[in-house]
């Protein structure tokens, strides 16, 4: 989180060509306790901030519940912003919310496809899901698994302590692979997820590159550090006078396929050439 806040500060504080002074930031962290988010959002509203940068679906919802006038710039990889009525349209949001969203329903299904390509013969897969992010990703994976003839076992985690319990249930169910859906909880704890998958010798795929870099088998998704800079740059423009109602929603600009050959070797898995040739990073 420290690195990500540094990326946000860097982008928000850029001095423009007119030499405007640095923008002050008020940081409020829930530290995993989502029930605190509404109160934290209210604190920012009462402080009369010029804009709120909300990171993750629960934070976006809390900010939206606290104000209908202060601009909200969202970083949300799990929500369909139009279907959830956060905005009117991607090109013209129309209200006080804009930001960076990744609401591709088939994106998580693509991750499942990559996992099956690397671990042939999988008949069942565990899906690690944070219910606070909504059901969009989960439904897409379940539909894809049905097409592939794969059984899905959903494992819920809303807190860090739930992650270890979920992996314990994976062990008991004798699942041979895990797909980790997108969640701020998972993205913020890559080492824990990688350590658990290594300890149980479980092939995993995540949308977060850091999970594969820390020892998970695979990842396919946006570079998270880049997203923080992207959304912070949008926030800076809003503070300088841009209207969120007129600012089109942005998408991640770069997606990485990371393959951890070292982990594959430890698990007795040979990653196919098709994956290694496509990979943006190969960890030996």
pLDDT in tens, 152-166: 999 999 999 999 999
Q: What is the CATH number of the domain that holds 57?
A: 3.40.50.2300
Reported confidence tier of residue 18, pLDDT bands at 50, 70, 90: very low
CB 181 within 8 A of CB 125: no
C-alpha span between 9 and 74 (Å, rounded):
16
31: left (phi over 0), alpha (psi -120 to 50) or beta: left
12 and 28 share a domain? Answer: yes
Q: Which domain holds residue 121?
A: 107-222+255-283
Residue-level pLDDT at 63: 96
At what angle are helices 37-46 and 57-66 packed, to 10 degrees?
Answer: 50
Domains of the chain: total: 2
Q: Is the dihedral of CA 255, 147, 126, 183 positive or negative?
A: positive
Residue 115 predicted with pLDDT over 90 = yes
Stronger pLDDT, 260 or 232, i.e. the higher one: 260
149 and 125 share a domain? Answer: yes
91 and 112 share a domain? Answer: no
Residue-level pLDDT at 12: 60
Reported confidence tier of residue 10, pLDDT bands at 50, 70, 90: low
Stronger pLDDT, 21 or 242, i.e. the higher one: 242
71 and 152 share a domain? Answer: no
48 and 86 share a domain? Answer: yes
279 and 167 share a domain? Answer: yes
CB 153 within 8 A of CB 129: no
27 and 133 share a domain? Answer: no
Residue 17 predicted with pLDDT over 50 = no
Residue 96 predicted with pLDDT over 80 = yes
71 and 113 share a domain? Answer: no
Rg (Cα) of the chain, in Å, rounded?
19
pTM comes to 0.85
């Amino acid at each position: 989180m420290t690195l990500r806040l540094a990326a946000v500060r860097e982008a928000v504080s850029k001095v423009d060509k007119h030499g405007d002074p640095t923008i002050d930031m008020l940081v409020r962290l829930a530290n995993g306790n989502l029930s605190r988010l509404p109160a934290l959002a209210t604190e920012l509203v009462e402080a009369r901030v010029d804009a709120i940068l909300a990171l993750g679906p629960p934070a976006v919802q809390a900010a939206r519940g606290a104000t209908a006038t202060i601009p909200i710039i969202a970083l949300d990889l799990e929500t369909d912003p139009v279907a959830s009525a956060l905005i009117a349209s991607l090109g013209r949001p129309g209200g006080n919310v804009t930001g960076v969203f990744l609401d591709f329903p088939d994106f998580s299904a693509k991750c499942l496809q990559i996992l099956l390509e690397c671990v042939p013969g999988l008949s069942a897969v565990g899906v690690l899901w944070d219910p606070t992010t909504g059901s969009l990703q989960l439904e897409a994976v379940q539909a894809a698994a049905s097409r592939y003839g794969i059984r899905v076992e959903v494992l819920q985690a809303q807190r860090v302590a739930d992650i270890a319990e979920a992996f314990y249930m994976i062990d008991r169910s004798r699942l041979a692979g895990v797909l980790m859906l997108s969640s701020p909880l998972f993205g913020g704890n890559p080492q824990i997820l990688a350590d658990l998958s290594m300890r149980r010798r479980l092939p995993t795929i995540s949308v977060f590159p850091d999970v594969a870099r820390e020892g998970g088998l695979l990842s396919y998704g946006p570079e998270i550090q880049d997203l923080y800079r992207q959304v912070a740059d949008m926030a800076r423009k809003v503070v300088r006078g841009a209207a969120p109602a007129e600012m089109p929603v942005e998408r991640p600009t770069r997606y990485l396929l990371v393959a951890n050959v070292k982990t594959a070797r430890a698990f007795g898995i040979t990653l196919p050439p098709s994956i290694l040739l496509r990979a943006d990073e190969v960890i030996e």
